[in-house]
Structure 1
Amino acid sequence: MPEHDPIAEPVTLPALTLGVGREVVLPRAAEAMVWSGVGLPLECVAVPGVLLRPGDVLVEVELATICGSDVHTALGHRLASKPLVLGHEQVGRIVAVTDQSYAANGMPLRVGQRVVWSVAVSCGTCVRCRRGLPHKCLELVKYGHERMQRGWELSGGFATHVQVRAGTAVVVVDEHVPATVLAPASCATATVVAALGAASALVPLAGATVLVTGAGMLGVTACAMATDAGALVVVSDPDPARRQLALAFGAAAVADPSAPRESPTGVASVLAAMQDAAAAEPTIALELSGARPAVQTALDLIGVGGVVVLVGSVSPDDPVLLDPELIVRRLVTVRGVHNYTPGDLAQAVTYLGGAWHRHPFSALVGTTFPLARADAALALAATARHPRVGLAPQPPATLG
């Protein structure tokens, strides 16, 4: 992905003047970095004004972080409409509201509040929303995933501002928690909350032995959360640096899935050694990598009465072997988790507010680029050197 210096004069879209709602003309035009296709540089588009419809909020972005799905879209590894504004992990400050703008807890939103918001915009009335699945709404749209359109140009986090639409779960956040900690809440952290919630509905976390496959952003977050809840966590990842990171987030042991089967560092050997040390067999397995062998490992090694939560498999892949007799005889439950509910996001924010002192969450954003260098940020994120790479509308005091 080529590094790109944006054009000096961004393409300018006119301010909106029609429709029902509140027109907001900014003192300085908002800017969004727009993706138009694989191999093409992001284009800076200026938006001088927005029309806030009832329930909408306009937020000035403090920091956005680059999720793996942003990289996959930019590289053409997943289908996406274009042009679009990437980005769905961010924290920012409200600069405009309507008289119908409310937080997820029902409180009115105010100008000046620091907030994060969900990846999903839901209708709230369809059959899935009524079932408690707003993240699978029949009318679902998602920040950073939708084609840029007239009336919703500021639809992703790679921008100075985001127009947060009615039907989005907005959570007010603490002023003292670093932006590097909060930005991933609206994807990685909330998804982990959902995954642990799916597991703990069947197996209590306190006292459980938990196998986590994948020590990326989700994996180390899951390690910290499960450890804080009283679980003994074993993390599997082929990358030595990621295994060390997992230890920093509370892992009791780490394993190398690429090691030979008889190796003491292999997953089965590490789990066997834990059991020899009086630890219970794993009754929770969180598969967060999306790697087919890791899915198989989780299914093969889960203990009696255990639950396997699949999270990372969000792209097509070859099927894995599932032996129905073993599932039946071992009383195993397999659950899938994709995205999260508003309650999960609120819980993620609450958790981070206390956990960032205990675990090095702020260090997970390895480098922050100014928004104008979004191409360079995407290129670095694609190397997976850091769990997250940051984008700030204004350059921070020191840049990596």
Structure 2
Amino acid sequence: MHTVVRVAGPDLILRPSPVAMVWNEPGRPHDALAAPGVRLSPGEALVEVELATICGSDVNTVRGTQPAATPLVLGHEQVGRVVAVGERAVRSDGSPLELGDRVVWSVTVSCGECDRCRRGLTQKCRSLAKYGHERVHRGWELSGSFATHVQVRSGTAIVRVSEQLPALVAAPASCATATAVAALDAASTRVGLDGAGVLVTGAGMIGLSATALAIEAGATVIVSEPDPARRAFAARLGAIAVDPGARGSSPERLDTAIDALAARGIPEVLISIEASGAASAAQTAVRTLGVGGIAVLLGSVTPGPEVPVDPETIVRRLITVTGVHNYTADQLVRAVAFLERSWRGLPLDELIGATHALADLDAALAEAATGRHVRVGVAPGRRPHP
């Protein structure tokens, strides 16, 4: 536990000092940065991290395949406890944030006033800041969750979670689960989920979260995923699992699964969620749709090859193709609500294959990069020494 000593006004001194792990460049180990003093502005809070999980974008950054401003404190999927509160700090529902609240928070910090925020696109705010993506600078050293604490800024959606919700389930809400909610919201603008045939390409954390959410909403879901262990997990959730590399008479072929939908009275796939980022999967997501269907692309967050599309097929089939990136405050609220009501019946905690101490962050990232686990956890545990 850390003791918070308020020095004067918004200035805080913590004992022992909070520590953040700073990434500088590919191939270089993280450096530990001590931040003994924190100044909380109105609307801000200091949260002690209980558990963070490693997102694919963290792995892409340390590999050098995703551009990033450095030095940088990575991490944006987490759960923690409020240990200090600035004036007028509130939860996403407008109620006062309180000391001791166990919370998750949005990856984005938005102004709420610009033209994009007024249009409901708070995740694309004109003055956007993102946890785990910003260059470390004086006054916001604790800006990512690969740290003992995070300084949560005004304009962040903060959602309280119950004490019963396992940290392994709660942490991914801040990215994967909320983004899956956003993807299904986008799909629902054209097609109702109840009774629909849905294709999900990619059984990572977002794809599996979208699968569980769609099944709960009454959809029949096909999950296309090359990894057999992830296909098996999708099947445990109630999906029809297929292998995009299956050939010949394999029962795991996509067209076989689509025939199975027809046998259930679902004549065609009308929603596809592309969560892998693979160009071939994006093609499949569009090609598989029936008339009036919608393809939601959300996996392509790093540069990749262009995807050929025949405009005539889009026109004649009345296809909609849309993109989703991050989410709104309401979608994070609904992501948490889904996890709160479903975690006892869904083995979502099993998707976190290992948890490392914060001091072992480089080993944790190396393990996450192997792809053996859907997620890898990072807990402050034994603190690194700067």
CA distance in 2, matches of 1:362, 1:262: 35
CA distance in 1, matches of 2:46, 2:39: 9
> Could you give the per-residue CA deviations for residues 20-53 of structure 1, whole angstroms, max 9, x where no partner exists?
x601111210011110111000111111110001
For 1:223, which of 211, 215, 223 is the aligned residue?
211
> 1:148 aligned to 2:159?
no
Task: Name the structure 1 match of 2:306.
Answer: 319
- What is the SS of the residue equivalent to 1:138? coil
TM-score normalised to the size of structure 2?
0.95
Between Structure 1 and Structure 2, how many residues are aligned? 379
5+ long unaligned stretches in structure 2: none
> Within 5 A, what are the aligned runs for 1:1-400?
22-251=10-239, 253-260=240-247, 263-394=250-381
Q: Is the Cα contact below 8 Å between 2:142 and 2:149 reproduced in 1?
A: yes
Q: Is the Cα contact below 8 Å between 1:91 and 1:114 reproduced in 2?
A: yes
Kindly provide the amino acid, as one letter, of the partner of residue 80 in structure 2: G
5+ long unaligned stretches in structure 1: 1-14
Kindly provide the amino acid, as one letter, of the partner of residue 363 in structure 1: E
How big is the alpha-carbon RMSD for the aligned residues of Structure 1 and Structure 2? 1.7
- What is the SS of the residue equivalent to 1:305? strand
Q: Is the Cα contact below 8 Å between 2:21 and 2:147 reproduced in 1?
A: yes
Q: Is the Cα contact below 8 Å between 1:115 and 1:172 reproduced in 2?
A: yes
CA distance in 1, matches of 2:15, 2:78: 22
Q: Is the Cα contact below 8 Å between 1:198 and 1:309 reproduced in 2?
A: yes
- Per the TM alignment, residue 356 of structure 1 is displaced from its structure 2 partner at its CA by 0.6
TM-score normalised to the size of structure 1?
0.92
CA distance in 1, matches of 2:119, 2:322: 17
Q: Is the Cα contact below 8 Å between 2:55 and 2:75 reproduced in 1?
A: yes
> Could you give the per-residue CA deviations for residues 268-300 of structure 1, whole angstroms, max 9, x where no partner exists?
232123324433311100000010000000111
- Per the TM alignment, residue 265 of structure 1 is displaced from its structure 2 partner at its CA by 2.2
CA distance in 2, matches of 1:85, 1:42: 9
Q: Is the Cα contact below 8 Å between 2:53 and 2:172 reproduced in 1?
A: yes
CA distance in 2, matches of 1:115, 1:237: 32
> Could you give the per-residue CA deviations for residues 353-377 of structure 1, whole angstroms, max 9, x where no partner exists?
0111121111111100111000110
Task: Name the structure 2 match of 1:5.
Answer: none
CA distance in 2, matches of 1:201, 1:192: 15
- Per the TM alignment, residue 249 of structure 1 is displaced from its structure 2 partner at its CA by 1.7
What is the identity percentage for the equivalent residue pairs of Structure 1 and Structure 2? 57
CA distance in 1, matches of 2:66, 2:159: 29
Tell me whether 271-280 or 85-94 shows the greater mean CA deviation.
271-280
CA distance in 1, matches of 2:99, 2:260: 55
Kindly provide the amino acid, as one letter, of the partner of residue 49 in structure 1: G
> Could you give the per-residue CA deviations for residues 72-127 of structure 1, whole angstroms, max 9, x where no partner exists?
00110111011110000000000000121011110010110000000001111111
Q: Is the Cα contact below 8 Å between 1:16 and 1:51 reproduced in 2?
A: no
